[in-house]
Amino acid sequence: MKVLVIGGGGREHAIIKKLLESPKVTEIYAAPGNGGISKDAVCVDIKAVDVRAMVAFAVEKAIDFAVIAPDDPLVLGMADAMAEKGIRCFGPDKAAARIEGSKVFSKSLMKRYGIPTAAYESFSRIEDAREYVQKAVYPLWIKADGLALGKGAIQAPDVDAALGILERLMVDKVFGESGSRVVIEEHMSGPEVTVLAFSDGRIIRPMISSMDYKRVFDGDMGANTGGMGAIAPNPHYTDDLARRCMDEIFLPTIRALESEGCPFSGCLYFGLMLTPSGPKVIEYNCRFGDPEAQVVLSLLETDLLEIMLAVCGGTLADIDIRWKPGAAACVVVASGGYPGNYETGRPISGLDGRGGANGVTVYHAGTKWDGAGFVTSGGRVLGVTAAAETLESALEAAYSGVRNIAFEGGHYRKDIGGRPRQG
Ligand code: AMP
Ligand code: GLY
């Protein structure tokens, strides 16, 4: 089959490498891909959000199956546009992608169907929001309704901070129209767990749990990032919790979307918090997490293409999804300055031509191939990933991989998976 993977980060590199293990894949394209991906797939210079050009390319190349990995093309309706041209694809349609594209939609869905989440109110008029924050309990969270590159959730410690955040989101529109409506919700506490799940709209099959490290510095300090590392499985997620989440969160979510007339087909991301009063949803995403995909897919035994075809064809019930025993770890190496402004074009040393060594897989997130070697081209540059029998040995391997790699300004967290390690 000719497969097209849309996107160009570490998650897409992990998806592509996994798909290449399938005997059914004969050709694989990535749009836009990146330097590292270009060693595994044919990269096509089309932006992930350019729905029209992407569909035209898929038609021209007679693509058999498209995997839409990032959130923005899904929210824009790329799956619908592919379907209109008869191209099968993995990823929810525009109506179901609202579960990530609009926090007002997802929060009201949870409220109506009794799915546990932080208590909240939503506002489209700043006057009402201002009045609400005067009387609220602190800290609280203010979130832009729409997509905001993972930066749209902001904690407010007090009224003054809350008023400032409302101003930035609703008046200055720092996230554009995404901030024209906001959700204001109570603060929750507890360990966080990511559960990715395949769904064909009726059946839901959770994958191995994972943990994402969102803050830039060790000890969960500093600004939020797209994710500085991940481990799988998540040590906090017991079998009991998994059963409880299935009954109280996963199945009710899939059924809620079906009842609303927008069944979800693709990978549904549950961002959960294990609060003292039980597991609650922090957020949904309509796609694989990045870097969660890097660790979770490392442990997948079953042919990913077969699963994706079953998701797309509504036959997930017929597939047995198997996982490798053990654990996986991913350490992200980022450009100096990230998640703020950062420079690109720095030569990277320590990668072989295909970007891996010693049982460690290096997924490329922001690299370019300049003809002679890889140079940096993004904030998150590499996701150094290893799977092993135990989490400890996966971490050892991933960190030994990281120590082989260098570029000017590069930084990474030394405490992925627990205690700080030698850099
Ligand atoms: P979101 O963009 O909604 O996933 O939020 C990003 C991060 O902010 C989450 O992973 C949590 O660490 C934190 N967060 C968001 N909402 C809350 C909340 N209501 N209580 C505590 N932490 C939160
Ligand atoms: N790692 C968080 C996300 O993919 O949204």
What are 49-91's pLDDT values in tens digits?
999 999 999 999 999 999 999 999 999 999 999 999 999 999 9
Residue 269 pLDDT exceeds 80: yes
* CA of residue 275 to ligand 1 center, whole Å: 13
* CA of residue 193 to ligand 1 center, whole Å: 12
Determine whether the shortest distance from the Cβ of 290 to ligand 2 is under 6 A. yes
Residue 421 pLDDT exceeds 90: no
Determine whether the shortest distance from the Cβ of 289 to ligand 2 is under 6 A. yes
Task: Identify the pLDDT of residue 423.
Answer: 54
How far apart CA 411 and CA 423 sit, in angstroms, is: 10
| 355 band by pLDDT with thresholds 50, 70 and 90 | very low
pTM: 0.96
DSSP secondary structure letters along 173-228: -TTGGGGSSEEEEE---S-EEEEEEEEESS-EEE---BEE--EEEGGGEEEE-S-S
How far apart CA 62 and CA 166 sit, in angstroms, is: 47
How far apart CA 154 and CA 159 sit, in angstroms, is: 13
Ligand nearest to C-alpha 285: 2
* CA of residue 175 to ligand 1 center, whole Å: 17
> Which ligand 2 atom is the nearest neighbour of the CA of 292?
1
Ligand nearest to C-alpha 9: 2
| 385 band by pLDDT with thresholds 50, 70 and 90 | very high
Per-residue pLDDT tens over the stretch 137-147: 999 999 999 99
Ligand nearest to C-alpha 226: 2
Residue 337 pLDDT exceeds 50: yes
Task: Identify the pLDDT of residue 359.
Answer: 74
Task: Identify the pLDDT of residue 192.
Answer: 96
CB atoms within 10 A of CB 23: 8
How far apart CA 372 and CA 35 sit, in angstroms, is: 11
Ligand nearest to C-alpha 282: 1
Residue nearest (by alpha carbon) to ligand 1 atom 4:
283
Determine whether the shortest distance from the Cβ of 248 to ligand 1 is under 6 A. no
* Angle subtended at Cα 415 by Cα 409 and Cα 417, rounded to the nearest 5 degrees: 130
> Which ligand 1 atom is the nearest neighbour of the CA of 140?
19
Backbone angles phi, psi at 301, to 5 degrees: -95, -40
Per-residue pLDDT tens over the stretch 402-419: 999 999 999 999 999 986
Per-residue pLDDT tens over the stretch 21-37: 999 999 999 999 999 99
CB atoms within 10 A of CB 279: 20
Determine whether the shortest distance from the Cβ of 283 to ligand 1 is under 6 A. yes
User: Which residues neighbour 174 within 8 Å (Cβ) at sequence distance 6 or greater?
Assistant: 168
Task: Identify the pLDDT of residue 204.
Answer: 98
Determine whether the shortest distance from the Cβ of 212 to ligand 1 is under 6 A. no
> Which ligand 2 atom is the nearest neighbour of the CA of 150?
5
| H/E element, 274 | strand 265-275
Q: Which of 266, 387, 386, 265 lies closest to 323 in space, CA to CA?
A: 387
Backbone angles phi, psi at 261, to 5 degrees: 85, 15
* CA of residue 138 to ligand 1 center, whole Å: 15
Residue 3 pLDDT exceeds 90: yes
Determine whether the shortest distance from the Cβ of 118 to ligand 1 is under 6 A. yes
* CA of residue 371 to ligand 2 center, whole Å: 31
Residue whose token pair is 């590199």 = 13
How far apart CA 325 and CA 233 sit, in angstroms, is: 10
